[in-house]
Every structure is written in structure tokens, then in C-alpha cells.
Amino acid sequence: MMTRRSALTLAFTAIAASWALRGAATTGVPPQARPAAAPPAAEVVALPNRSDSLKFAVLGDFGTGDRAQYQLGEQMAKLLARFPYELVITVGDNIYGSERPQDMKRKFEEPYKPLLDAGVKFYASLGNHDDRVQSRYKLFNMDGRTYYTFKAPKQDVRFFALESDYPKPEQIAWLERELENSGEAWNIPYFHHPLYSSGERHGSHSDLREVLEPMFLKHGVSVVFTGHDHTYERVKPQKGITHFVTGSGGKLRRGGLDKKSGLTASGFDTDQVFLAVEIDKDQLFFNAISRTGAIIDSGVIERRKEPQPQP
């Protein structure tokens, strides 16, 4: 069986060859005091909640079936009542443990029933704890694919769900082609293993970074969403790209952030978190919301207009 590292090595070789050949939550949600563990913060940036914007949530490492998962799901439902987001992208480890039909009900369908009933669509990516059969689970909208792309229903946005556990050469070549052919202003990759992370359990995946980051820079990617480390972190922009680690949707590693990494723009490792995001033209607004409803991180990101030249 091909190991993840050997797959990465082959993928990097393949893509290098191909290059050579071509030469808040919302208005009306009062800002809440940040928990003591959160870093000093600027004023909360409310999500504009505009009628023609793209609204979505980001959730990762969530499918435990435990009380904390259900409580965070309740916060997601409360947000939906005020901020009608249309989709949720998942950054992997969607289901922990057994994945029988009754498990899918307890660990996914019941915690997010208000969202599903309201027509919110989940678009999953897979993590190291996920059986690949999840790609055929109807409510994950993967259509049998372990990596895929789709255009958002609003705004000039395209998402790329990747399988980062075994990024074989064919997936990397596919990603290069899809990014090259994308006509959207925002190209947003999401996957499980973070390229940059201060998580003490896993941390940054430099081997994956060697493969993916050059493509992201070349094609004007502005934000990347990942999970795997069971914390929340917004990484300081790396070469102009903002990386989010949203790996505490159900699982949580309390005190799991390395405070000395030098990477963290904002981090939170004392409670579960999901992200609420709104894109309007060239701006992306975000609120990171905890299990208690506190906004623990907030801000706005401007889209990168020019790809970074490659060496």
C-alpha cells in the first residue's frame, strides 16, 4: 500500500514536471467578551448579512455523538435563524468510531437536524478517521468522489475539497488543472491536514505544504480551511494566504496550542468552535463562534488580486 509520504513525493514530482513542461456572527448579535484564554482582540467585526452575499460555515473534527457536539450544533442552528447560510464545508474527521446507519444518525443527522431541515447543504472532505465510503453518503454531497470542486451558489467563488490523507499524483494533477481553468475570483481549498498549525499534537504538515502551497500562490488563493488539530487557530498570513485550523467541532484538545510557535494570529483551545463566513465581492468576513455562543475571533480578509510569481 502506498504510504502518505510516498504519495506526497510522487505528487510533488508530477506537478513539478507539469510546471516545467508549461514553462460575526451577524448584525444584531452583540459582541461578547472573549474568554480569558483568547488573545487580546480588536473590536468584533459583524458579518454584514447582505442579501446577495455568500454565507457558509466551516466545521471540522466533529462527529463524536457527544454532548459538546450537540451543543455546538445548537449554536449553528441559532446562527442560521439570523444569518441564513446556505452551506457547510467540513474539513474532515466527520465521523469518529463506527459508521453504521445508526451512527450516522446519532453523530451527524441528529446534531444538525435544524440545518438539514432548513435545506443547508454539507459538502464534506475526508480526514484520517473517515472511512472512504463516506464519499457515497448522500448528505455529504460528495457523489462518490474523495476530492472534487464546486461553484458556490452566490458570488464569484469556487471551492476545492481535497483528500489530504493520500494526495496521489492524479489528484494533484487534477487540482492544478482545475485551478488553472477556474474562472472564479475566489478559489478556496479545504481539507484535513493543515499546512500551518501551532497544534502540539500534529502541527504543520510541511511535506503537504511543499506540494500544495506553490499552486495556491500561483493561482491567487487567499484563504485555506483545514482541521486535524483539535483547536481553533487563525494563522498569521503566510506569503499572503490566511490559513484557518477549525478542528474542534466535536473533539477538543484543551491547552493544545503551542503558544511559542510564532504562527498564531488568534488561537482558542478551551472550547469547541465553528466558523461563520460571508463573502461579498473582494471581502471575506469571518466570526469564530464557541459552544457557548461567544465570538472568539473575528475579522475581514481582502482577496489577493495578483498571483505571487514563482521562482
Work out the mean pLDDT of the chain and round it to a whole number: 87
- Sheet with strand 157-161: strands edge to edge: 148-151, 157-161, 186-190, 223-226, 242-246, 232-235, 264-268
The answer to whether residue 241 sits within a structural domain is yes
Task: Kindly provide the b/e burial profile for residues 132-146, where b requires at least 16 CB atoms within 10 angstroms of the residue's own CB.
Answer: eebbebeebbbeeeb
**Total number of domains constituting the chain:** 1
The confidence score (pLDDT) of residue 274 equals 98
The confidence score (pLDDT) of residue 203 equals 67
Strands 148-151 and 157-161: antiparallel
The answer to whether residue 298 sits within a structural domain is yes
The answer to whether residue 77 sits within a structural domain is yes
Listed range (28-32, 45-49, 213-217, 268-272) with the worst mean pLDDT:
28-32
The confidence score (pLDDT) of residue 130 equals 87
Cell of 213: 502551497
More reliable by pLDDT, 27 or 136:
136
The confidence score (pLDDT) of residue 116 equals 98
Q: Would you call 201 exposed, middle or buried from its count of C-beta atoms within 10 A (0-12, 13-18, 19+)? A: middle
The confidence score (pLDDT) of residue 86 equals 97
The answer to whether residue 162 sits within a structural domain is no
Task: Give the integer Cα–Cα distance in Å for 240 and 307.
Answer: 10
pLDDT tens, residue by residue, 232-284: 999 999 999 999 999 999 898 888 888 888 899 999 999 999 999 999 999 99
Give the CATH number for residue 298: 3.60.21.10
Q: By residue range, what is the domain housing residue 40?
A: 24-122+199-270+281-302
Examine the pLDDT at 140 and tell me if it is beyond 50.
Answer: yes
Q: At CB < 8 A and 24+ separation, what contacts does 212-216 make? A: 212/162, 212/167, 212/172, 212/175, 213/238, 213/239, 213/241, 214/15, 214/310, 215/15, 215/175, 215/176, 215/179, 216/189, 216/241
Sign of CA dihedral 85, 153, 126, 198: negative
The answer to whether residue 90 sits within a structural domain is yes
Q: What are phi and psi of 101, to 5 degrees?
A: -50, -40
The answer to whether residue 174 sits within a structural domain is no
The answer to whether residue 190 sits within a structural domain is no
Strands 232-235 and 186-190: unpaired
The confidence score (pLDDT) of residue 103 equals 96
The confidence score (pLDDT) of residue 135 equals 95
The DSSP-derived string for 221-288 is: --EEEE-SSSSEEEEPPBTTBEEEEE--SS---TT-B-TTSS-EEEEE-SS-EEEEEEEETTEEEEEE
Task: Give the integer Cα–Cα distance in Å for 42 and 105.
Answer: 40
Confidence of residue 142 (pLDDT cuts 50, 70, 90): very high
The answer to whether residue 19 sits within a structural domain is no
The confidence score (pLDDT) of residue 306 equals 65
Cell of 122: 454539507
- Work out the number of other CB atoms within 10 angstroms of the CB of residue 186: 22
Please tell me the pTM assigned to this model.
0.85
pLDDT tens, residue by residue, 150-169: 999 999 999 999 999 988 99
